Amino acid sequence: MDPENDPVSYSIVSGNDLRQFAIGSRSGVITVIRKLDREDLTRYKLATEDAGKLSSTATVNIKVTDINDKNPEFVGDPYNFTVKEGLNKTSVGFVRANDADEGINALITYSIPSGLPFDIDNETGEITTSRSLDYESQKNYQFVVTAKDGAPDPRIATATVSIAVEDVEDELPVFSRSVHEATVPENVPDYFVTDVKAEDPDTVKKITYVIHQGPTDLFRIDENSGAVYTIRGLDFEKESQHILTIGTLENMSNQEGSTTKVIVNVEDRNDIPPVFTIIPHPITLEDDVAIGTPVTTLVATDSDGTAPGNKVRYEIIGRGKAAKYFQIDPDAGVLKVTNDLKKEIDTEYQVDVRAYDLGEPQLSSVITLDIYIQHVATVAPEVGLRFADTSYSVQVPENATFGYKIKTLTIVNSKTHGGNIPLKCLVISGNSERKFIVNVTEERNCALYLNGTVDFESEESYQIEVQIMSLQGFINKEFAITQVTINIVDVNDNIPYFIYPTGSTSEKYYAAITANSPLSSAVTQIKADDKDSGKFGKLKFSLVGDNSDFFAMDQSSGIIKTKKTFEDLDDSHLPFKLTVKTRDNPNATKDYNEIEAPVVINLITTDNRLILVIGDAKPDVVQKKITLITTIIQEQSGLIVGVEKLATREFIGGNGTLESDPAGTDVWFYVIDPETDTILSRNSSLVKRSIFDKAAMDNITFDITGQIQNTAFNIHEPIILHKVKTASIASFNGEVFPYALIIIACIIFVLGIVGIIYICVSWSKYKSYKDQMQRQYVVPASPTRYDTVYVEPNLKEYETQVLQMCVPVDEQDDYNDLHLDFSNKNHAFSLDNVSYISKDNNLKKYGQQSPVSSESATTVRASSVGDGHILKSGEHSLRRDHMYHNRSSDDEEMNASPTNENVMFKEKKDYSHLGFSYDHSPVETTTEL
């Protein structure tokens, strides 16, 4: 709008390069003059101006709205995908379509026809399998994928999808035929039998044929072709039919068709000749036997399985005139006489009989039958043929060779009847092994020969019987058989041999002994043996070497002992390397065999000891398995192992003390380097690597545990601690226990002697005391008076005197052990025991004299009831057997006094607490006050 109201004209100055818009020059209305395509250009920006002299511009933004005018377009059409068979819900590939529209018009969804084994994601276009595909059923799929936009009136596009199914080996080979049958001639190795075929529907066919069942020692199958061959010749007579079950490695199921059966029928061939079942002995006939007389029946059998190969016929192919005089039935094998035997002067016929079968090729075997003809003629027994002795005894050295002449058995009258009389010698018994043969010599005697070898160690003697064979009339039948005893003489034909310890890998003896071993300690025992017997089997041992002065060897037992101590021994002597020699026939200067072997002896120190711990077996159980244990350690470590001892297991307890476990065993052993023969220290690198290394120790303990069925814990060095017995019960071994019993017996004996001495001394003391009590006592003069004392509460006046007792001084030593204790604890004095005695009564009893005023009166008075009077002062003997048995008279005389003019203390004393036993007589002691 122009403020001056001048006319305004409009024009588009920019943004209309395609001439798609026009503007009214006067009205200013913009119109579309050409078709717009949003997909080409979405927005337009136009600049308009006033075309007058004065102008101004304005910008017009034009947005083109979308309409569904574009079809979706697939990118990469057509689509080719591959997928492996047998996979379900697996991704095949993606299809993608673009739509140039916008908004809902550009929203694309995908779909495929129904009935296909595929699904498609309608948003992403991902194609997946909806079920497992089978290459063998369908190899390719082609279908159309539809892309549709989201407009109400949608537009669509299509694309072709080809999916190739990739074959995998998912099919099992199957045999179409369940049974194959073939015929194979026997005795033909590597013979083609038949071939079997299995079908594999997979593209890549892989079939490996195997024989599941059947004699795999007779048949083999080509694993690729399925051809079956024989490995060696079959035998119809053993088995006429074989059945093979053939399958494949790819199909090991039991489903139908997984295997096929091959029946192999063996075709019999004539491969076995007839065999005579009985070997006939020589037959003797009289020359006058009738024609047609059966001589013997020969039997032969043919082991072929089928006819005619097992049909046997017989014929004579004999030498000389045998066929003229004998004939055999071809079917039955009966040999008969067919001519008069008197026509010939021959005395012996050898008839060769052939047994043949009817197979192809024909097979046969021949046997020779000796027939002796006895022409009827008799001679006197004394001129008949006989042995010179009925028995012989001969000796044959065991090293005699084949053909050795043992003995010539003389035949008496062998030349008397001329050389035309037939003569033969036979061994008829005791020759089951055919070790001996007998031939007739030129002098017409029987020579006995060795037909094999003999061994004294196997058989020391043989007994055989030899018989003379000739014309019947010329034999002395009583002496026609002789017995020959053949004694085999032992010779030194065997060399001694050493018996090495079980598990030893070298022909060398190893031993070890502690360095502080006493003299004559056993080190080891060398064992050897000789197959000979007697003096040739007796062995003698000897020890040689530079260090032999340290050791001695028992010549009979082979035990090596020490004969020197090893103190201050130079290490250059170690190890001791000796040689042991063993010879048989010890006392002979010739005809003996000698062998030798090295012996290595090491000294054991603390550094050499190792301990294998067996946790759940006692030493006596482990002892039975010790050879197996040492063998395992040797095999694992490569070292030579020697066992020093077996002991109860020891370990360090929780309180740090050494404890023992009777249920376990410590195997103390040492090892020797087989290269240097030197005993090894625990600290050596070889021991650490071969035994203490964790892997090596685990292998050793694992193998030992598995072999001996007991748990091997570990291997460690000896524990150095003072042993404190805690949970274990002390036990004695077999060596200490007898000495402990002897010590205990000695202690009991000594204690017994001491007890007897003590009893004797005590008895002597007791006898001395008894004698003392019977001795007289010397009564001393009246003691000195003491001042009066006052006793509460009545304040009565008492006079006190001292009681004294004297013992005779003779034989003073006899009474040193007598101790009288007059202390208050042993003489319990109490005023309750005090009674008053009147002066009148007292004077009556003591002869009208006051005991107080009389100097001669004794301070100790004893009353004797037995004789009814009081002992006088001149009687110094107190007799125990007269002590008071009845004190009633004293009780009557010694009445209590109401005054204290005279007081008599009466008290019964018991001295049993001093260890003296005596009759408790009622003894009273009185004291005058």
Q: Could you read off the pLDDT of 875-897 as tens digits, one per residue?
A: 333 333 433 334 434 444 444 44
Q: Which residue has the higher pLDDT, 568 or 633?
A: 633
pLDDT of residue 170: 64
pLDDT of residue 801: 54
pLDDT of residue 86: 83
pLDDT band at 566 (very low <50, low <70, confident <90, very high): confident
- The answer to the question of residue 727 being in a domain is no
Q: What is the CATH number of the domain that holds 36?
A: 2.60.40.60
Neighbouring residues of 551: CB distance < 8 A, sequence distance ≥ 6: 523, 543, 560, 561, 562, 563, 576, 578, 601
- pLDDT of 209 over the 90 cut: yes
Same domain, 639 and 588: no
632 close to 638: Cβ distance less than 8 angstroms: no
Counting the structural domains of the chain, the total is 8
- pLDDT of 723 over the 50 cut: no
Residue 700's SS3 state is helix
> Going edge to edge, which strands form the sheet with 391-397?
391-397, 481-489, 461-470, 423-429
The tens digit of pLDDT for each residue in 368-399 reads 888 888 776 566 667 678 888 889 999 999 88
Same domain, 599 and 613: no
Q: Residue 847 and residue 896: Cα distance in Å, rounded? A: 20
The tens digit of pLDDT for each residue in 901-924 reads 444 444 444 545 545 444 444 444
Instruction: Give strand pairing partners of 836.
Output: 903
Lowest mean pLDDT, pick from 16-20, 145-149, 800-804: 800-804
For helices 694-708 and 626-637, give the axis angle rounded to 10 degrees. Answer: 150
Question: Of 634, 741, 636, whose CA–CA distance to 698 is shortest?
Answer: 636
Same domain, 386 and 351: no
- pLDDT of 359 over the 60 cut: yes
% pLDDT > 90, the chain = 25
- pLDDT of 261 over the 90 cut: yes
Same domain, 427 and 473: yes
- pLDDT of 620 over the 50 cut: yes
pLDDT band at 37 (very low <50, low <70, confident <90, very high): low
Same domain, 918 and 791: yes
The tens digit of pLDDT for each residue in 686-703 reads 999 999 999 999 999 999
pLDDT band at 235 (very low <50, low <70, confident <90, very high): confident
Q: Which residue has the higher pLDDT, 514 or 854?
A: 514
pLDDT of residue 821: 47
Question: Of 577, 531, 538, whose CA–CA distance to 555 is shortest?
Answer: 538
Mean pLDDT for the stretch of residues 863-868: 36
Question: Of 276, 220, 283, 285, whose CA–CA distance to 246 is shortest?
Answer: 220
Single-letter amino acid, residue 392: Y
Mean pLDDT for the stretch of residues 801-812: 50
- The answer to the question of residue 17 being in a domain is yes
Domain's final residue, options 544, 569, 604: 604
- pLDDT of 867 over the 50 cut: no
Same domain, 103 and 158: yes
Q: What is the CATH number of the domain that holds 701?
A: 3.30.70
Question: Of 883, 890, 889, 869, whose CA–CA distance to 921 is shortest?
Answer: 883
How deeply is 7 buried, as exposed, middle or buried, from its count of CB atoms within 10 A (0-12, 13-18, 19+)? exposed
- The answer to the question of residue 458 being in a domain is yes
Mean pLDDT for the stretch of residues 706-718: 90
In degrees and rounded to multiples of 5, residue 329 shows phi and psi of -70, 120
Same domain, 596 and 706: no
Mean pLDDT for the stretch of residues 105-134: 91
% pLDDT > 70, the chain = 76
Lowest mean pLDDT, pick from 244-258, 320-334, 369-383: 369-383
Q: Residue 392 and residue 389: Cα distance in Å, rounded? A: 7
Residue 763's SS3 state is helix
Same domain, 799 and 865: yes
Same domain, 14 and 153: no
Domain's final residue, options 339, 354, 374: 374
Total length of the chain: 929
Beta strands 275-276 and 300-301, pairing class = antiparallel
Same domain, 864 and 782: yes
- pLDDT of 421 over the 70 cut: yes
Q: Which domain holds residue 652?
A: 609-716
- The answer to the question of residue 757 being in a domain is no
Q: Which residue has the higher pLDDT, 796 or 150?
A: 150
pLDDT band at 127 (very low <50, low <70, confident <90, very high): very high
- The answer to the question of residue 468 being in a domain is yes
- Residue with token string 């060779």: 401
Same domain, 325 and 344: yes
Burial 906-919 (b: 16+ CB within 10 A, else e): beeeeeeeeeeeee
Terminus-to-terminus CA distance in the chain, angstroms? 181
In degrees and rounded to multiples of 5, residue 765 shows phi and psi of -65, -40
Q: Which residue has the higher pLDDT, 775 or 519?
A: 519
- pLDDT of 560 over the 70 cut: yes
pLDDT band at 222 (very low <50, low <70, confident <90, very high): very high
Locate all alpha helices (DSSP H) within 574-614, ordered by sequence: none
pLDDT band at 547 (very low <50, low <70, confident <90, very high): confident
Domain's final residue, options 546, 570, 604: 604
pLDDT of residue 52: 56
Q: Count Cα neighbours of 589 within 13 Å in the Cβ-side half-sphere.
A: 0
Same domain, 711 and 650: yes
Mean pLDDT score across all residues of the chain = 78
- The answer to the question of residue 260 being in a domain is yes
- pLDDT of 899 over the 60 cut: no
- The answer to the question of residue 766 being in a domain is no
pLDDT band at 192 (very low <50, low <70, confident <90, very high): very high
Question: Of 260, 256, 262, whose CA–CA distance to 248 is shortest?
Answer: 260
pLDDT of residue 910: 53
Q: Which residue has the higher pLDDT, 720 or 785?
A: 720
Q: Residue 357 and residue 310: Cα distance in Å, rounded? A: 6
- pLDDT of 822 over the 50 cut: no
Mean pLDDT for the stretch of residues 728-732: 44
pLDDT of residue 238: 87
Q: Which residue has the higher pLDDT, 306 or 874?
A: 306
Beta strands 364-374 and 283-286, pairing class = parallel
Token couple for 382: 């004394």
